[in-house]
Structure 1
Amino acid sequence: MTIEIRRARVTDADFLPAIETCAAELFRSDAQLAWLADATVADVPSHRANIQRHPVWVAVTADDIPCAFLNAEACNRELHVWEISVAGGHQGQGIGKRLLQAARQYALGQQLEALTLSTFRELPWNEPFYQRQGFVTLEQAQLGPRLCQVLADEARYGLPAARRCAMRLTL
């Protein structure tokens, strides 16, 4: 199956909530996180606004239908990856890696210094995946105010703080 990575168009927003919902099914495999599979995802208007304001990439099938996406935001000299979601039938095919490569190329082109993100520590498709892509897990003293705030906001949302971490890929 041919998959192309490209910048998202506003019309792609119609597909992104379903991709996010499908991708979240993976959390059912973890009893403490299973509730995330039923959590509310961003709606189409939110995705449209995000596409208009921030860098968003989609992976599309041969018929130009999105099957995965990555949304990010430039913060100071870093590109923060807020989310990568890959629809279930397309997981395990390297699409997440290709989306990260697109974000990395964008960040390099913008002369940014790093990619950052927050993720779960031990889930195979989270911290271990990002480590294989060159990200380094940051210790508390390395976080800085922005990433501290990201992790604090996630804890307020209900994500178990002890299982979360922030990571950085220096460019």
Structure 2
Amino acid sequence: MRIRLAAPAELPLLQDIERAAGEPFRALDMAAVADDEPPAVEMLERFRRAGRAWVAVDGEGDGDPVAYLLSATVDGAEYIEQVSVHPRAARRGIGRLLIEHTAERARTEGLPALTLSTFADVPWNAPYYARLGFRILEEAELTPGLRKIRAAEAEYGLDRWPRVCMRRPV
């Protein structure tokens, strides 16, 4: 498996990965999450141009992406905006590889931690991240940027299911 920056022509493939990765939410009575449209190509392009849209590809990197990760800097930490793995590539450690790649990049940029916001009770969300060393942040620990992200998620309707912010040192 190889991690590299996404290419412009691959951005529609990232949308396909996102749609496919959303399907398992149906089994948890979270059809609204499964039906949610992936980020627009224009938004994906902004992450790509900023050097923060990473893909995982089989072999030497000549194949199509099977997973991707988007990140940004929020309040002095690397915030994982999205990590999605196509179900046909699931359970192979690809999400972990993308997260470790992001942690290494954050370390080289002098950032102290990775942060994210996720569903608390979805097995491949908060419990998965906890196994990777993330811890749930208490309300008082949320930075202004994380509070803003949580408010936007609530406005979007994601608070129908419990959500948490998490942090892991790099």
TM-score range, shorter chain: over 0.9
Which residue of structure 2 aligns with residue 55 of structure 1? 52
Provide the C-alpha distance between the structure 1 equivalents of 2:123 and 2:25, rounded to a whole number of angstroms.
11
Deviations 1:11-39 (A, max 9, x none): 321311000100011111111x2211111
The answer for the alignment partner of 1:44 in structure 2 is 41
State the partner residue of 1:101: 100
- Which residue of the partner structure matches residue 19 of structure 1? 17
Deviations 1:108-167 (A, max 9, x none): 010101110000111110011101111110010111211111111101101126600000
Q: Could you report, residue by residue, the CA deviation over 1:42-78 in whole angstroms, capped at 9, with x for unpaired residues? A: 1223212221124121001234211100000012421
**Cα displacement string for residues 71-116 of structure 1 (whole angstroms, at most 9, x for unaligned residues):** 0001242100000010110111110000000000000010101110
Worse overlay, 15-24 or 157-166: 157-166
Cα 1:162–1:29 change in 2 (3 A) is closer
- The more displaced of 137-146 and 57-66 is 57-66
Task: Pick closer, same or farther for the CA change 1:144–1:46 going to 2, 3 Å.
Answer: closer
Q: What corresponds to 2:132 in structure 1?
A: 133
Q: Is the 8 A contact 2:44 2:53 kept in 1?
A: no
The aligned residue for residue 69 of structure 1 is: 68
Residue 125 (structure 2) pairs with residue 150 (structure 1): no
Can you give the 5+ residue segments of structure 1 that lack an aligned partner in the other structure? none
Relative distance call for 1:76 and 1:145 in structure 2 (3 A) is closer
Query: Structure 2 unaligned runs (5+)?
Result: none
Q: Give secondary structure in 1 for the equivalent of 2:122.
A: coil
% of aligned pairs identical? 36
Contact 1:10 1:52 in 2 (8 A): no
**How many residue pairs align between the two structures?**
168
